[in-house]
């Protein structure tokens, strides 16, 4: 059975992905080589993709991506935007839909609902007029359930770090269509362990005395990646298009660097979304860094308490016992840290912060913090936008009106919290 529409939707807990959720839709999560949206696009290249979620966030996403948000006639496959979809999902879905015929179904994985299929004879457009979808609502209770293995949903931003390695390995089965295996004679003076597990795109540059160790998992290098001398990269690691790995970088396993980043120092089990820099010495571990972030020289993140106790994360709307002993920094878009900044274990930092401190920064840093302390003044909105414009222009990007509107909403929340 052919799919006519795929609808990526936000669930009613999307705000728990803070600070990522301030500026981004849930399907923008970078959970492997791809963002969730990109992966669905790769797996269903001929299917129209639409979106249901927070209206302004969708408008921002479609403006940045040059997309339209349209639903065509016919059936619809709804997928939670926070879900990682396996490379073998389309084949499994087709076989199961062929067996059940023309009736609606709920899609589950490990007993948890992550999507549904609505056949053509249902008027899904009128019934799904919402800014989020809850698959436990009454409208879905009459649907039969079908189980799919290996689909992962992320409730909080730090949850994405648990599956980095396995997701890169699964995404490697998708990128093999456009990448080729590392051909060592092409490069002078590099060392590779298990080179058949290194997949590379076009026009990459690898300097002498680079070690690529893909023994424990694949290393994937996107188009235009540049790796400077004396760097060590251990897989599983994915490096996005046009990202630069600086001299002497120590990249341990389980890392995802999106496109157009500059990466250096010591990094372990971290995700850098795209267009962000952590290019100097310093340690980044068990962290998720959003877009347009710059971590200054010798910025360090703690990801383990000296007591080895479980970490509690602070969000604006609640506190969460993570059940984990390793959590570093969750950093929102457009935030900058000064040289020698120190982030304590399990830190949440909002957007547009200018963070400098002579000792550890607190574990919750509000958006637009001018300094990083709980008592720090608020960064002036116009100044923050002007800085964002300058930074983005250096990468030939222009901030959209929708992004400014989202930034204004967050600024107003910060101001209101001070009253």
pLDDT at 419: 64
Q: Render pLDDT for 116-161 as a digit per residue (tens, 0 to 9).
A: 999 988 765 566 657 778 888 877 877 889 999 999 999 999 999 9
Query: 19 preceded by cis ω (within 30°)?
Result: yes
Residues 306 and 326 in one domain: yes
Do residue 286 and residue 338 come from a single domain?
yes
**Pairing of β 244-245 and β 226-227:** parallel
Report the C-alpha gap between 317 and 308 in whole angstroms.
26
Quick one: tokens of 371? 């300094």
Q: Are 200 and 306 within one domain?
A: yes
Pairing verdict, β 354-355 and 336-337? parallel
Indicate whether 142 and 35 sit together in one domain.
Answer: yes
Q: How many domains does the chain have?
A: 2
Q: Are residues 136 and 172 in the same domain?
A: no
**8 A C-beta contact, residue 222 and residue 201:** yes
14: CATH: 3.90.550.10
CATH number at residue 290: 2.160.10.10
The verdict on 146 and 295 lying in the same domain is no
pLDDT at 126: 62
Which residues form the domain of 174? 158-417
Count Cβ atoms below 10 Å from residue 178 Cβ, excluding itself.
12
Range 248-253 contact pairs with CB under 8 angstroms and sequence separation of 24 or more: 253/165, 253/216, 253/217
Rounded Cα distance between 373 and 368, Å, is 11
Q: Are residues 175 and 253 both part of a single domain? A: yes
Last residue of a domain, one of 123, 139, 155: 155
Cβ 116 vs Cβ 103: under 8 Å: no
Tell me the Cα Rg of the chain. Answer: 22
How far is it, in rounded angstroms, from Cα 147 to Cα 113?
9
Q: Residue 125's pLDDT is what? A: 58
In this prediction, the residues of the chain whose per-residue pLDDT falls under 50 are: none
| DSSP letter, residue 372 | S
DSSP secondary structure letters along 299-335: -EE--S-TT-PPPEEE-SS-EEE---S---EEE-TT-
Please indicate, yes or no, whether residues 163 and 146 belong to a single structural domain of this protein.
no
Short-list 31, 82, 74, CA closest to 53: 82
For residue 236, say if its preceding peptide bond is cis, omega within 30 degrees of 0.
yes
Helices H / strands E in the chain, number of each:
8, 37
What are 250-266's pLDDT values in tens digits?
A: 999 999 999 999 999 99
The Cα 349–Cα 330 span in angstroms is 6
Same domain? For 11 and 46 the reply is yes
Euclidean distance between CA atoms 373 and 352, whole angstroms: 14
Helix/strand/coil for 273? coil
- Choose one of 125, 140, 155: the last residue of a domain: 155
- Taking the C-alpha atoms of residue 262 and residue 272, their distance in angstroms, rounded to an integer, is 10
Closest CA to 236 of 254, 248, 249, 250: 254
Q: What is the number of other CB atoms lying within 10 angstroms of the CB of residue 359?
A: 6
| Dihedral sign of CA atoms 244, 239, 361, 418 in order | positive
Note the pLDDT of residue 133. 84
Let me know whether 127 and 239 are in one domain.
no
First to last CA, the chain: 56
Query: Could you tell me if 352 and 383 lie in one domain?
Result: yes
Last residue of a domain, one of 119, 140, 155: 155
> Torsions phi, psi of 327, nearest 5?
-145, 130
Are residues 71 and 187 located together in one domain of the fold? Answer: no
Q: How far apart are CA 108 and CA 418, in angstroms?
A: 43
């Amino acid at each position: 059975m052919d799919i006519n529409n795929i609808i990526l939707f936000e669930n009613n807990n999307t705000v728990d992905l803070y600070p990522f959720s301030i500026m981004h839709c849930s399907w923008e999560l970078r959970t492997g080589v791809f963002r969730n949206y990109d992966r669905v696009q790769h797996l269903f290249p001929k299917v129209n993709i639409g979106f249901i979620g927070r209206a302004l966030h969708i408008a921002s996403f479609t403006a940045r991506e040059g997309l339209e948000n349209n639903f065509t006639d016919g059936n619809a496959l709804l997928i939670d935007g926070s879900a990682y979809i396996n490379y073998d999902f389309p084949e499994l879905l087709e076989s199961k839909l062929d067996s059940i015929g023309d009736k609606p179904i709920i899609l589950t994985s490990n007993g948890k609902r992550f999507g549904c299929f609505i056949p053509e004879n249902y008027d899904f457009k009128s019934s799904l007029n919402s800014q989020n979808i809850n698959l436990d609502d009454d409208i879905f209770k009459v649907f039969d359930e079908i189980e799919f293995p290996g689909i992962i949903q992320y409730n909080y931003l730090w949850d994405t770090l648990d599956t980095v390695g396995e997701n890169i390995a699964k995404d490697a089965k998708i990128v093999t269509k456009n990448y080729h295996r590392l051909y060592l004679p092409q490069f002078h003076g590099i060392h590779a362990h298990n080179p058949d597990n290194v997949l590379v795109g076009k026009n990459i540059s690898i300097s002498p005395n680079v070690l690529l160790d893909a023994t424990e998992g694949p290393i994937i290098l996107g188009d235009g990646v540049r790796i400077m001398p004396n760097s060590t990269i251990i897989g599983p690691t994915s490096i996005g298009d046009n990202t630069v790995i600086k001299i002497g970088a120590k990249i341990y396993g389980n890392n995802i660097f999106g496109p157009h980043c500059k990466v250096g120092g010591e990094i372990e089990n971290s995700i850098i979304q795209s267009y962000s820099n952590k290019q100097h010495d310093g340690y980044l571990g068990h962290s998720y860094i959003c877009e347009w972030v710059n971590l200054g020289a010798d910025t360090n993140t703690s990801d383990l308490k000296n007591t080895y106790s479980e970490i509690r994360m602070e969000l604006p709307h609640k506190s969460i016992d993570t059940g984990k002993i390793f959590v570093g920094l969750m950093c929102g878009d457009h935030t900058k840290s000064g040289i020698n900044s120190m982030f304590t274990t399990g830190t949440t930092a909002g957007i547009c912060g200018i963070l400098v401190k002579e000792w550890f920064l607190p574990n919750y840093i509000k958006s637009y913090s001018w300094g990083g302390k709980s008592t720090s003044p608020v960064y002036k909105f116009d100044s923050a936008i002007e800085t964002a414009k300058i930074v983005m222009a250096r990468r030939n990007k222009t901030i959209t009106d929708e992004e400014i509107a989202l930034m204004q909403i967050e600024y107003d929340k910060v101001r209101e919290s001070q009253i």
